[in-house]
């Protein structure tokens, strides 16, 4: 079973502990049949046989076995706990690394709440399996076999008559196991839905309030909770239907022992001591039988949970370094070439046969209506997605032949959707290199026009900003994100609508600062304001997947879209419109 193999693989380093724990479990289980056997000797030899000198040593031995068994159990629990915690740590580490390497398409498909369910609830089941189910299985199996062997030695007829219950129990358990598996998958899915809704509501709390949609969200959450509850109740009912059958089968063992045992005593085939041992060990047969069904229940949950973990554990990113990738020799110059690039999201084409080149040190601006694909161009440039057709070259080498580390090191993006960490402001700005000198970090803040408001904060650069930068205005967050991108000092600097929430005056100051960066870089600026783009070496207008390229002058003369934007924004000194392309 691959789920078990998965656990074994991840136990590396602590396998000995687990095996040690399981051996102890087996040992302690064997011990349980010793005391009933000693009681048989006690009754037959010490009491009935008159060998009273055996009484005290036998009782002391029985006490010693009880204590020894408890000590061994304690050690076993310690070993099982340690090995299972190590297992979780190993799996978590791989999953976290894996998530970090995943491409955007992976996160487009799988939601945060679902991932959280996998690394919390599902992982807990894997731990439960390792620390508890395995031990219970061994315990039940060894107890059962030891009891059968011990009883078989005393009287085979009585032992076999008690075992007639076993096939019935196996049939019932197997039928139940088949029924319950899909039910546990359902429970798991419903739980993940609850987590997704909860996570989205916590994250989007302000939006929910702003739109007064609390009631709607509450309703949605309670529907999900109800679905989870119903799924759990269904699984529980399925189990409860089986419990009485299993209990009855367990009870039957006592009846069989008394009935058949009584007849055998009357026939003189066994002694009273033998029967004492049989009744004393009835539980050692019935309990493992019952446990077997409980374990099937737990195993089904373990399988459902492990399947979900394995999915993200082994999810291999399609976007990864090729074995023959070219490793950059020093800093790249930042030349970007799009050559006949095609790209679509599913059936929706976004870029069609797009070609352009930005030379090192040049500034290119990208404009176009909302949703036309500007951010997509940036994502393709950083190889967060791969092109469907054509190619993108960075310093003349296809991105697919470069290493991801080289690409990401060479392109610093101030993203449109600003994300700041719950950390100090300087920690956020120096994210690319935490060892960055303080002065360089402050210079970058100044270039991004962020130094003014930061120094007014109570703790300046040491101020901790909350999740997603709560406590800062939209424009302030944008400026910290810009400072962070500048601080990376990469050969390509991309600003995706980075100054949209910044006032005109600050924006023009930032524009001036961008000419004075203390390092060479190619700049890609996505903006809606003509003032932000008009001085660029090239302006790309993206519409309906196609591009038009020009400068402010040529586009104002020939491109209808650009001309309209200029006119809407009252741009002065426009050349006469000559008509032409869209």
Ligand X SMILES: Nc1ncnc2c1ncn2[C@@H]1O[C@H](COP(=O)(O)OP(=O)(O)OP(=O)(O)O)[C@@H](O)[C@H]1O
Among 333, 352, 416, 463, binds Mg ion (CB under 5 A): 416
108 binds, among Mg ion, ligand X, none (CB under 5 to 8 A by kind): ligand X
User: Least distance (Å) from ligand X to the CB of residue 374?
Assistant: 4
The contacts of residue 128 (CB under 8 Å, 6+ apart) are 298, 302
Ranked by CB distance to Mg ion, the top (closest) residue is 375
Determine contact, residues 398/568, Cβ cutoff 8 Å: no
Determine contact, residues 281/147, Cβ cutoff 8 Å: yes
Q: Is 134 or 478 the residue whose CB approaches Mg ion more closely? A: 478
Interface stretch with Mg ion, choices 28-36, 212-220, 399-407, 410-418 (CB under 5 A): 410-418
Report the run of H or E that residue 394 belongs to, with start and end: strand 389-394
Instruction: Classify residue 45 as exposed, middle or buried by CB count within 10 Å of its CB (0-12, 13-18, 19+).
Output: middle
- Please give the span between the terminal C-alpha atoms of the chain, in angstroms, as a whole number: 61
Q: Is 169 or 366 the residue whose CB approaches ligand X more closely? A: 366
- Name the nearest CA neighbour of 381 among 345, 336, 418: 336
Q: Is 374 or 529 the residue whose CB approaches Mg ion more closely? A: 374
Instruction: Classify residue 440 as exposed, middle or buried by CB count within 10 Å of its CB (0-12, 13-18, 19+).
Output: middle
Q: Is 131 or 354 the residue whose CB approaches Mg ion more closely? A: 354
Q: Is 391 or 528 the residue whose CB approaches Mg ion more closely? A: 528
Q: What is the spatial distance between Cα 525 and Cα 375, in angstroms, rounded to a whole number?
A: 11
User: Least distance (Å) from Mg ion to the CB of residue 533?
Assistant: 15
Q: Is 107 or 237 the residue whose CB approaches Mg ion more closely? A: 107
392-400, Cβ contacts within 8 angstroms, sequence gap of 24 or more? 392/336, 392/337, 392/338, 392/339, 392/341, 393/335, 393/336, 393/337, 393/339, 394/332, 394/334, 394/335, 394/336, 394/492, 395/328, 395/332, 395/333, 395/334, 395/335, 396/335, 396/337, 397/326, 400/322
- Name the nearest CA neighbour of 192 among 311, 347, 51: 311
Determine contact, residues 411/326, Cβ cutoff 8 Å: no
Interface stretch with Mg ion, choices 229-237, 240-248, 414-422, 545-553 (CB under 5 A): 414-422
Q: Which residue has the tokens 């003369």?
A: 557
344 binds, among ligand X, Mg ion, none (CB under 5 to 8 A by kind): none
427 binds, among ligand X, Mg ion, none (CB under 5 to 8 A by kind): none
Q: What is the spatial distance between Cα 208 and Cα 229, in angstroms, rounded to a whole number?
A: 25
User: Least distance (Å) from Mg ion to the CB of residue 103?
Assistant: 18
Provide the mask over 351-370, with x wherever binding to Mg ion is found by CB under 5 A and - wherever it is not: --------------------
Q: What is the spatial distance between Cα 356 and Cα 556, in angstroms, rounded to a whole number?
A: 19
Determine contact, residues 350/343, Cβ cutoff 8 Å: yes
Residues 367-386 that bind Mg ion (CB under 5 A): 374-375
Q: How many residues does the chain have?
A: 582
Q: Is 302 or 343 the residue whose CB approaches ligand X more closely? A: 343
Q: What is the spatial distance between Cα 528 and Cα 533, in angstroms, rounded to a whole number?
A: 8
User: Least distance (Å) from ligand X to the CB of residue 379?
Assistant: 7
Interface stretch with Mg ion, choices 41-49, 328-336, 413-421, 445-453 (CB under 5 A): 413-421
Q: What is the spatial distance between Cα 297 and Cα 290, in angstroms, rounded to a whole number?
A: 11
User: Least distance (Å) from ligand X to the CB of residue 217?
Assistant: 24
Q: What is the spatial distance between Cα 410 and Cα 400, in angstroms, rounded to a whole number?
A: 15
User: Least distance (Å) from ligand X to the CB of residue 104?
Assistant: 6
Q: Is 100 or 370 the residue whose CB approaches ligand X more closely? A: 370
User: Least distance (Å) from Mg ion to the CB of residue 374?
Assistant: 5
Q: Could you give the count of Cα atoms lying within 13 Å of 564 in the half-sphere of its Cβ? A: 10
User: Least distance (Å) from ligand X to the CB of residue 415?
Assistant: 10
User: Least distance (Å) from Mg ion to the CB of residue 320?
Assistant: 26
- Total number of residues that touch Mg ion (CB under 5 A): 3
The contacts of residue 221 (CB under 8 Å, 6+ apart) are 194, 197, 198, 201
User: Least distance (Å) from Mg ion to the CB of residue 400?
Assistant: 24
130 binds, among Mg ion, ligand X, none (CB under 5 to 8 A by kind): none
372 binds, among Mg ion, ligand X, none (CB under 5 to 8 A by kind): ligand X
521: Cα separation from own chain's centroid? 37
- List interacting residues with ligand X (CB under 6 A): 108, 345, 350, 368, 370-376, 416
177-182, Cβ contacts within 8 angstroms, sequence gap of 24 or more? 177/296, 177/299, 177/300, 179/238, 180/235, 180/238, 180/239, 180/296, 180/297, 180/300, 181/300, 181/303, 181/304
Q: What is the spatial distance between Cα 37 and Cα 49, in angstroms, rounded to a whole number?
A: 16
**Residue 538 lies near Mg ion (rule: CB under 5 A):** no
Q: Is 148 or 527 the residue whose CB approaches ligand X more closely? A: 527
Provide the mask over 163-202, with x wherever binding to Mg ion is found by CB under 5 A and - wherever it is not: ----------------------------------------
Determine contact, residues 307/495, Cβ cutoff 8 Å: no
Q: Is 66 or 207 the residue whose CB approaches ligand X more closely? A: 207
Q: Is 193 or 375 the residue whose CB approaches ligand X more closely? A: 375
371 binds, among ligand X, Mg ion, none (CB under 5 to 8 A by kind): ligand X
Q: Is 105 or 440 the residue whose CB approaches ligand X more closely? A: 105
Determine contact, residues 290/250, Cβ cutoff 8 Å: yes
User: Least distance (Å) from ligand X to the CB of residue 356?
Assistant: 16
182 binds, among ligand X, Mg ion, none (CB under 5 to 8 A by kind): none
User: Least distance (Å) from Mg ion to the CB of residue 497?
Assistant: 6
**Residue 229 lies near Mg ion (rule: CB under 5 A):** no
Q: Is 76 or 372 the residue whose CB approaches Mg ion more closely? A: 372
224 binds, among ligand X, Mg ion, none (CB under 5 to 8 A by kind): none
User: Least distance (Å) from ligand X to the CB of residue 389?
Assistant: 16
Residues that bind Mg ion (CB under 5 A): 374-375, 416
């Amino acid at each position: 079973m691959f789920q078990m193999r998965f656990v074994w693989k991840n136990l590396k380093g602590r396998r000995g502990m687990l095996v040690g724990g399981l051996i102890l479990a087996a040992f302690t289980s064997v011990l349980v049949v010793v005391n009933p056997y000693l009681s048989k000797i006690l009754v037959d030899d010490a009491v009935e046989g008159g060998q009273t000198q055996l009484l005290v040593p036998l009782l002391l031995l029985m006490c010693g076995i009880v204590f020894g068994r408890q000590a061994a159990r304690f050690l076993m629990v310690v070993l099982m706990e340690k090995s299972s915690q190590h297992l979780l740590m190993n799996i978590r580490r791989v999953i976290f690394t894996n998530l970090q390497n995943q491409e955007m398409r992976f996160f487009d498909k799988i939601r945060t709440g679902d991932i959280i369910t996998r690394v919390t609830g599902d992982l807990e089941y894997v731990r439960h399996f390792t620390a508890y189910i395995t031990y219970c299985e061994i315990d039940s199996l060894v107890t059962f076999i030891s009891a059968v062997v011990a009883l078989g030695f005393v009287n085979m007829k009585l032992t076999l008559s008690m075992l007639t219950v076993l096939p019935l129990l196996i049939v019932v358990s197997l039928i139940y196991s088949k029924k319950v598996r899909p039910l546990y998958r359902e429970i798991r899915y419903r739980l993940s839905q609850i987590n997704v809704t909860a996570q989205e509501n916590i994250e989007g709390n302000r939006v929910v309030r702003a739109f007064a949609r609390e009631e709607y969200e509450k309703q949605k959450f309670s529907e999900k909770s109800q679905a989870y509850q119903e799924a759990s109740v269904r699984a529980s009912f399925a189990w409860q239907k089986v419990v009485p059958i299993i209990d009855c089968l367990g009870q039957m063992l006592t009846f069989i022992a008394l009935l058949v045992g009584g007849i055998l005593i009357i026939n003189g085939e066994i002694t009273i001591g033998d029967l004492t041992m049989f009744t004393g060990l009835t539980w050692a047969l019935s309990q493992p039988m019952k446990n077997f069904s409980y374990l099937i229940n737990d195993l089904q949950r373990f399988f459902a949970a492990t399947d979900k973990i394995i999915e993200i554990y082994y999810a291999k990113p399609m976007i990864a370094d090729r074995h023959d990738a070219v490793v950059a020799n020093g800093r790249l110059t930042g030349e970007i070439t799009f050559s006949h690039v095609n790209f679509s999201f599913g059936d929706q084409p976004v870029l069609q046969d797009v070609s352009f080149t930005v030379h090192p040190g040049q500034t290119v601006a990208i404009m176009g209506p909302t949703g036309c694909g500007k951010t997509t161009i940036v994502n393709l440039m950083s190889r967060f997605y791969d092109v469907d057709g054509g190619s993108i070259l960075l310093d003349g080498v296809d991105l697919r032949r470069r290493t991801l580390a080289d690409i990401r090191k060479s392109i610093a993006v101030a993203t449109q959707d600003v994300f700041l960490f719950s950390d100090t402001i300087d920690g956020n700005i120096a994210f690319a290199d935490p060892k960055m000198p303080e002065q360089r970090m402050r210079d970058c803040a100044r270039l991004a026009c962020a130094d003014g408001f930061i120094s007014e904060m109570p703790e300046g650069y040491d101020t901790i900003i909350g999740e997603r930068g709560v406590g800062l205005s939209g424009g302030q967050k944008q400026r910290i994100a810009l400072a962070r991108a500048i601080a990376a000092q990469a050969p390509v600097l991309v600003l995706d609508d980075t100054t949209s929430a910044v006032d005109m005056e600050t924006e023009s100051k930032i524009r001036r600062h961008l000419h004075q960066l203390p390092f060479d870089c190619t700049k890609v600026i996505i903006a809606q304001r003509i003032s932000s783009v008009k001085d660029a070496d090239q302006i790309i207008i993206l519409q309906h997947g196609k591009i038009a390229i020009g400068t402010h002058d040529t586009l104002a003369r020939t491109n209808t879209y650009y001309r309209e934007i200029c006119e809407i924004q009252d741009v002065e000194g426009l050349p006469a419109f000559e008509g032409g392309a869209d």
